[in-house]
Amino acid sequence: MPTVVERIAEARENVERACERAGREVEDVTIMAATKGRSVPEIVAAVEAGISDVGENYVQELLDKKGELDEAGYSEICWHTIGHLQRNKVRYVVPFCSRIHSVESMRLAQEIDKRAARIDRVQAVLLEVNIAGEESKFGIAPEQAAQLAEQVMELEHLQLRGLMTMPPYTNNSEDSRPLFKVLRDLAEQLVSLGLPNEAMSELSMGMSGDYQVAIEEGATTIRLGTALFGPGR
Ligand SMILES: *Cc1c(COP(=O)(O)O)cnc(C)c1O
Task: State which of 4, 10, 43, 82 you would mutate to test the pocket of ligand 1, scoring each by most atoms of that ligand within 8 A of its C-beta.
Answer: 82
**CB of 167 closer than 6 angstroms to any ligand 1 atom:** no
In DSSP notation, 158-216 reads: EEEEEEEE-PPP-S-GGGTHHHHHHHHHHHHHHHHTT--GGGG-EEE---TTTHHHHHH
CA 31 to ligand 1 centroid distance, Å: 12
List the one residue out of 111, 62, 121 whose CA is nearest residue 91. Answer: 111
**CB of 206 closer than 6 angstroms to any ligand 1 atom:** no
The pLDDT of residue 62: 98
The pLDDT of residue 136: 80
**CB of 24 closer than 6 angstroms to any ligand 1 atom:** no
The pLDDT of residue 90: 98
CA 63 to ligand 1 centroid distance, Å: 18
3-state secondary structure (DSSP) of residue 150: helix
The pLDDT of residue 141: 96
The answer to whether 166 and 137 are in contact (CB under 8 A) is: yes
Q: Give 157: exposed, middle or buried? Use CB within 10 Å, 0-12, 13-18, 19+.
A: middle
In CATH terms, is domain 4-229 a member of 3.20.20.10? yes
Task: Please identify, by atom number, the ligand 1 atom nearest to the C-alpha of residue 209.
Answer: 7
Give dist(CA 158, CA 110) in Å, integer. Answer: 9
Domain boundaries, given as residue ranges, for the chain: 4-229
**CB of 61 closer than 6 angstroms to any ligand 1 atom:** no
CA 175 to ligand 1 centroid distance, Å: 17
**CB of 125 closer than 6 angstroms to any ligand 1 atom:** no
pTM score: 0.97
The pLDDT of residue 130: 96
CA 94 to ligand 1 centroid distance, Å: 21
Q: pLDDT means per 10 residues in the chain (233 residues)? A: 96 98 98 98 98 98 98 97 96 98 98 98 98 89 98 98 95 96 98 98 98 98 98 79
Residue nearest to atom 5 of ligand 1 (CA): 225
In DSSP notation, 12-81 reads: HHHHHHHHHHHT--GGG-EEEEE-TT--HHHHHHHHHTT--EEEES-HHHHHHHHHHHHHTT-TT-EEEE
